[in-house]
A and B are shown apart, each in its own frame.
Chain A
């Protein structure tokens, strides 16, 4: 274990996690909204946003899947030390999955919940290069007054996911300290 593993967690977990959760709640409740979070400094390539989401929502009850370059010994150790979350290599077991869009594909193996318990599905935390407001795909649905915009890495995949409703995957997007979200309830219309 390197000394860096011990760094980068919440300094005051109860309060920082509370603020971070409110940001998560806000972006999930209003798809298209972008929030800025702080408090976690995870090892690269995990972004600050992804690190904050991880520390706020993941713990020993939530198996975490790390896709592609996210799966490094440094990140595994950091997650084990700060969140205590088990790392799984099986997508079907993941409560949360972290990675770039390309590394997370194909999505089919992630659990989408059952008809009776659609909440038992994976939440994907997708690393994007940029996250700018009022750009990208037109989206509508619960939490959106008329239409909103969100820069999505794909259109069809999210449309297919919405067709599974009420089952389906939920997404967070992160770029640096910025986060946004796309729940399964949101209809994606394309750019």
Chain B
């Protein structure tokens, strides 16, 4: 398609986003303000992630989009087609083949490599926002490293529920300095935030970009007597039998029937195909 500039955004916008990404890379976990543009999709559909992807994509890239782990949901399909059209990049559903992965609320089960970039869609980038609504105050709290309020919140969870009840968007501390919202990924994914790939976070409505370089120290907040627990449903996947993957609970009828399946559709399919291949080999 030649009616649009490569990857949709104009060059000056991309330069502005690229400068923000580099500053974010230099200050891991710090939210860099940027002049977010209106995108041809509603806020909440990944406008931040799309702008970051547009700024990093090259013509040689292979692009994958997941929404809650799935490649085939409306949000994932429309964003994937958007860049297929406007950037002419190759697309894939396979994690291993992708060089840039845009994600809504999951990290793929397969470990990401050095040559991959993962772009998160972020709704509320400020981890302190629900505790302190004023941006002027949360800015100050970050600058003073004043994170007591967050620990009070986690403590109140324990006092009320007996454990830390936060199950997603579980706050982390980056390199011992900034408390960061890892976007609404399940806390099951938190240990994967220390990875080999470059991680970029884009919040379009809130106009913030932040980043994690590879091998950055990312610690989930907890207490000595209530250590962080990346829990998951206590079932194997009903399709591929995986016991190490994050599971979605699917209601199957009106009588309380339910099944647990991998949320990462590519991981699940890969395991099913590998099992079928092994079976065919045994038969032959």
Q: Which residues of A contact B (CB under 8 A)?
A: 13-15, 17-19, 21-22, 24-26, 28-30, 56-62, 95, 114-119, 121, 123, 141-145, 165-166, 170, 183-185
User: Contacts A14-B7, A15-B6, A170-B26 given: A61-B216 contact, CB under 8 Å?
Assistant: no
With CB as the reference atom, state the residue of chain B lying closest to A22.
B58
Q: Does B22 lie at the interface of the complex (its beta carbon under 8 Å from any beta carbon of A)?
A: yes
B216 near A13 with CB under 8 A, answer: no
Q: Inside 8 A of B11's CB, which chain A residues have their CB? A: 13-14, 17
A29 near B198 with CB under 8 A, answer: yes
Nearest Cβ distance between residue B73 and chain A, in whole angstroms?
A: 27
A28 near B22 with CB under 8 A, answer: yes
A143 near B215 with CB under 8 A, answer: yes
The number of residue pairs between A and B whose CB atoms lie closer than 8 Å in the complex comes to 120
B5 near A14 with CB under 8 A, answer: yes
Question: Quick one: CB contact mask for B199-232 with A, threshold 8 Å, 1 for yes?
Answer: 0000000000001111111000000000000000
A18 near B30 with CB under 8 A, answer: no
User: Contacts A14-B6, A17-B11 given: A30-B26 contact, CB under 8 Å?
Assistant: no
Nearest Cβ distance between residue A115 and chain B, in whole angstroms?
A: 4
Q: Does B161 lie at the interface of the complex (its beta carbon under 8 Å from any beta carbon of A)?
A: no
Q: Which residues of B contact A (CB under 8 A)?
A: 5-7, 11-12, 14-16, 18-28, 30, 32-33, 55-60, 117, 139-140, 142-144, 175, 177-178, 198, 211-217
B28 near A119 with CB under 8 A, answer: no
State in angstroms the CA–CA spacing of A165 and B23 once bound together.
13
B59 near A24 with CB under 8 A, answer: no
A184 near B18 with CB under 8 A, answer: no
With CB as the reference atom, state the residue of chain B lying closest to A19.
B58
With CB as the reference atom, state the residue of chain A lying closest to B136.
A116
6 A-B pairs (CB sep. < 8 Å): A18-B56, A21-B55, A25-B21, A117-B139, A119-B27, A119-B33
Q: Inside 8 A of B22's CB, which chain A residues have their CB? A: 24-25, 28, 57, 123, 170
B25 near A25 with CB under 8 A, answer: yes
State in angstroms the CA–CA spacing of A13 and B5 once bound together.
10
State in angstroms the CA–CA spacing of A34 and B177 once bound together.
27
- Among all A-B residue pairs, the 5 with the closest Cβ atoms: A143-B213, A183-B26, A14-B6, A119-B23, A115-B143
With CB as the reference atom, state the residue of chain A lying closest to B142.
A116
Q: Inside 8 A of B7's CB, which chain A residues have their CB? A: 14, 18
Q: Inside 8 A of A144's CB, which chain B residues have their CB? A: 215
**Of listed A14, A24, A184, residue having the most chain B CB within 10 A:** A14
Q: Inside 8 A of B28's CB, which chain A residues have their CB? A: 142, 185
With CB as the reference atom, state the residue of chain A lying closest to B174.
A142
State in angstroms the CA–CA spacing of A114 and B18 once bound together.
21
Nearest Cβ distance between residue A21 and chain B, in whole angstroms?
A: 5
A57 near B15 with CB under 8 A, answer: yes
Q: Inside 8 A of A59's CB, which chain B residues have their CB? A: 12, 15-16
With CB as the reference atom, state the residue of chain B lying closest to A118.
B27
